Each structure stands twice: as structure tokens, then as C-alpha cells.
Amino acid sequence: MSCPFCDFSKIKKRTIATVDGFHIVASLGQITDGGYLLIIPQYHTPCLGNLDKNQTFKLNSLSYHLSAILEEEYQEPVIIFEHGIVGQTIPHAQLHILPAKINIKSQVERNFPGSKIEAIKDFLALQKKYQETRTPYLLWTTPRNKMMVCWNPPAPPEYLRLLTARLLGVPERGSWRNMDSKLDQALIYQTIEKLNPNFIP
């Protein structure tokens, strides 16, 4: 099966910019009222922990920069998350980043009591740990920008998306496949229009 993120024509219309080897893309299934983005590596890799050190350094910088833009534009704190081979519907690394004030740690702990959860400093720390163990993971940030990892949880597809939507009170937006398409297209368009000026040279 071909990878839709490797075929740029499939995401070109939703791509806001390409920076340092990463596409910044308005996500299908806008959980929030705009501002929901994906950071997608240009070249195929199964998860962000699998990036090399140079790519990971660039990801650290880009995610920090993009979080600051979203916080300014939407006046909300930002959450990021990744299904690190667990719960993926597309087998290509993708960092979800959206304006939302939620804390998902306690729910992850309840859902996966047998899985180790720990705080890590940044994506460089994730890369180092993943390269050592090759263990699948869920990754997210707290409202205070602490990065958390749950190692090897038996998470179902779209777990962090579904959880985020439920905690925000919009469970009907949880699955990108099932969201109202007219509303989604309108929010995608608004997201692109709002954020485009931040990436014009």
C-alpha cells in the first residue's frame, strides 16, 4: 500500500509550508475550531523517534516555533502528540499540534496501567531512547509543556485524537474519517488562511 504522506500531491492543498525537511499541514478532522496542524517528515519514517539526530534537532526547533505561532494566533496553550507506531492509521511519522488546554496524562495512566510513563526533556531525548529500545510509544505534552511518553501501550487506532476530542467536548470530531466534511473543509481553509502569513518570506 502506498503512503499518502509520501505522495505530496495528496497533501499539497493542505500544506502551509515546508521547512527544514518537514511539511506543515492543516490536518483532516479539525478537532478544534481551526489551528490543528501536522508536522510531517518529508521522507518516509515510521515514527519521530526514528529520525536521525540532525532531523530531530530541526524538529525540536520547528515544533517550538510553531507552538509559539499557534499560541499567538489562537490565544490558547498548545498540545502536541504522536502515535509512535501505536494507534497509527497512516504508517508515516506525524506530529499533531493544536491549540487546546487539556491534560491527558491521568486518562492514559488509567487506560494503560501496565505501561511505563515518563517525562522526557525533548525530541532529542525521545530519539535517543527510541534508538536504544525500538519500543512503540505514545507521546504528548501537558499544559505546562512537559513532554510525556507512554511506552508500549496497547492503544487502539487514533487513540490520542479520540481522547483529545472527548476531553474538548467534541467526540464527534475524534475520527478524521467521520467528521462532518463541510465543517472540516471550512476549518481547514480558515487554518491555512490564518497561518499562511507566518510563513511568507
Mean residue pLDDT across the chain: 95
Annotate 163-189 with b (16+ C-beta within 10 A) or e (fewer): bbbbbbeeeebbebeebeeeebeebbe
Q: Where are the domains of the chain?
A: 8-199
Asked if the model's pLDDT at residue 138 lies above 60, the reply is yes
Block residue for cell numbers 488562511: 193
pLDDT at residue 2 in the model: 79
* Dist. CA 162–CA 23, nearest whole Å: 23
The residue-averaged pLDDT of 34-39 equals: 98
Predicted pLDDT at 201: 66
68: amino acid identity, one letter? A
Give the predicted TM-score (pTM) of the model.
Answer: 0.96
The percent of residues above 70 in pLDDT, for the chain, comes to 99
Into which CATH architecture does domain 8-199 fall? 2-Layer Sandwich (3.30)
